[in-house]
Every structure is written in C-alpha cells, then in structure tokens.
Amino acid sequence: MRLLPLLFVLFAVAASAAPRPGTFAWNYRNRPVVAPLAGYEFVAVSPRGILAPGVADSLQAFGAGALIWMQPVLAVTNGVAISGRDYPFDSAALDLVTRQGALLRKPDGKPVDLFPGKTYGAHMLDYRDSAFVDAYAALIASTFRGKAGGILMDYGCGDLSWARLGVDESVWPAWRSGFIRLCDRLRAQDLLVIIQCDQYPADLVPVSDGAFFEQAGMSLNPLRKVWDNVVAHPDRQMFVRVEELKPRTRRAFATLALMTGARFNWSDLRGDSGEGTKGNERDFEHFGMSVGPASGPIDTVSSGVYTRSFAHGFAVLNLSDKAYVYRRSDGTRFTIQPNDGLVAEMGSIYRWSDVITNVGK
C-alpha cells in the first residue's frame, strides 16, 4: 500500500532535480538514502548499496550515472568473510575466491588484512592469477550490468606496498599486472573504469577512463598537483573531491573542475580523520551558477594563473603564490588570492549588474 506514494516521491524529486553537469556525489553505506543524491551527474555507491532495493532504480530515475565503489578485498567481520542471502555479491565473490584460492597471504599463510585489528576488516584479493582476474571481472559485470555504468577502483594506484601489510615486496609487480588486467577486462565489459590514486600512473592510463583525486587541497593532493594531473589528460574523465568545508578550497577546486571538465564533489569528510558529517554539499559554482559549456581554450594570463571563457561567463584560477588582479576589457577588476578561484556567470544582457560571481561565497 505504501509503494505508489514512495515511487511518486522519488520520481517527483527526480523531475525537479535534473543532474548538474560536472558533479558527483557518494554514499558508501549498505543501504544508502537516495533522495539527497538527486541532482548529481554521477553517484558512487557501494556494491551492497546498489543492490539494495530501489537504489539502482532511483538513481536511474534521477538521471545519475552510478559508479560502484570497489575495493580489492573481501569484507570480513571479526575475521569471517561476509556472506548470506542479504549479501549476494559478497557471497558470490567469496565462492569464487575460495574456489580459486585467490586471497593474498602473508608468509605465515594468514590472509592479508587491509584494516588489521578492526572489527570490520578486509582480506586482500590476489590478482596474480589471471584466471581469477578474468572470472572476477566477469562476476562484477554480470552482477551490476543494468544497475551501474562504471566502477570506481578504490586503492587504485596498482599496488599497496606503501601500506606495509607484511607482504614480500616481490609480490607487488605481479599483483600490479593483475590489477591492470582487471581494469582492462572491466572496460571490455563496457564499464567505465575510474581509478582512485594521488597520481595517474602511465601504465594505468590505457586501461582506465580517468582518475579520482580525493582529499583535494590536503597534503595528499594539493591544488597544483591535481591541476597538473588533470590537464595532462584532457581526454579522460577526472573526479575531484574536496573533503572539508573551507570556502577557498572549494572555490579553487570547483573552478579547476569547471575549467578542465572534471567532475567535482564537495563533502564534509575531513580526510581520514573520521570526523565530519560525511554528507555531500552542493557547491555554489555548480548548483548556484550556470556558466554553460566552455567556449574557448584554457589560457595562461600570468605565471600560475589561468582563465577560460564559457558560454555564459568565465573562470580564473590562481595557482601562484601571490594575489592576482584580473582586469576585464570594460575595466572591471577582481583580486584573486593565491590558491583561489573566480567564477562569473554573465546574463544575456552582459551588464555587470546582472553578473553572479562566487566571490566571498
């Protein structure tokens, strides 16, 4: 009796919130609340989340492209792999891994746990077996076909040697080859493959569609580093996430995203601190303005300062270490601080009284 009202609400929300180009949101819960995800071009959800009743249908009704947030692990609780009728993908993956013997193990034979010492752990998969990699790619594709259009590969740099998980260093080159093979096989299944990494490694570029730069503006991914990685690959789909609610950081990376065509997310995650609401925020540059498509190339106007024109405005990004005064031909001036961005939306009349900017927002 409650199904029709629920569907009505979902489709009413979808109709009133067309996706904003250049945006993405995320919710990694097993049963995500979908209404706040309306209006984003892409939405990243967990494997369990997309299989929860109504989630895939709702995202499709919103017009969002679903990406499955995939880690190279089997999820475990108190050392026991999750399985059962409520966890169809976990169960199928466990069955495949068990049959193929595809857990990565330490020299003492114990599984490698990505999150050791925690109640909710993660046993690492072993990508060194090509037969397992091919079967795993086929399982992912068959499970999520029709529900998602792509995979977001968390821990996607190609190896985890940096994590010091007790595995001999000689393991990682072969593991990396298997990871590359997995990305390639997933793309062959017509899935968009986005790798999460703080770089875009050259050997992963041919087997992926783009990269995801998290913690943008923090020590992992400062502004210049993200800019250099994104502009080096204009033919790829890049995703950038700011995880703190600092206006200048948001302005800078939202401007970067608009200028380069990257997808942008602003959220209260605060990196790996565990603080914050973990909610998606609607940034002013994408949800409060509409500059339209780019109408010209990215131009360098000074060392470390870049600008680009759009159908209904312009953007300026200051990557230099000092303030920059941007002057328009009509004499209008804007002072842009270091590591900050300016976006201006101009109405059809092109009078400055009609201009909307992100200055001070």
Find the CATH number of the domain harbouring 272: 3.20.20.70
Mark whether 316 and 281 lie in a shared domain: no
Q: Are residues 248 and 216 in the same domain?
A: yes
pTM above 0.85, yes or no: yes
Same-domain pairing of 260 and 319: no
In a domain, 292, yes or no: no
Among 287, 315, 345, which residue terminates a domain?
287
19 touches 43 (CB < 8 A): no
- For residues 203 and 72, membership in a common domain is answered with yes
Task: Please check whether residue 253 is in contact with residue 281, taking contact to mean a CB–CB distance below 8 angstroms.
Answer: no
Per-residue model confidence (pLDDT) at position 151: 98
110 and 9 belong to one structural domain: yes
Considering only CA atoms, which of 285, 279, 319 is closest in space to residue 303? 319
* Assigned domain for 294 exists: no
Shared domain for 238 and 342, answered yes or no, is: no
* Rounded Cα–Cα distance for residues 223 and 292 (Å): 24
Same domain, 236 and 338: no
The predicted structure's pLDDT at residue 17: 62
How confident is the chain (361 residues) per 10-residue block, as mean pLDDT? Answer: 41 60 97 96 98 97 98 94 96 98 96 88 96 98 98 97 93 98 98 98 98 97 98 98 97 98 96 87 97 97 97 97 93 95 80 80 95
CA 8, CA 156: separation in Å to the nearest integer? 39
Q: Taking a C-beta distance cutoff of 8 angstroms, is the pair 220, 244 a contact? A: no
Residues in CB range of 69: below 8 A, 6 or more apart: 26, 28, 44, 45, 46, 47, 152, 154
Q: Are residues 334 and 279 in the same domain?
A: no
The answer on 321 and 176 residing in a single domain is no
Q: Is residue 217 part of a domain?
A: yes
Please name every residue paired with 313 in a beta bridge, in sequence order, or none if there are none.
Answer: 310, 345
> Would you give the distance in Å from CA 119 to the centre of its chain?
26
Residues 233 and 314 in one domain: no
Which domain covers residue 322, as residue numbers? 299-357
pLDDT of residue 117: 79
CA dihedral 90, 91, 93, 97 (to 10 degrees): 130
Does 331 lie in the same domain as 274? no
Whole-number pLDDT of residue 352: 53
Tokens read off for 327 = 């002057």
pLDDT of 349: 47
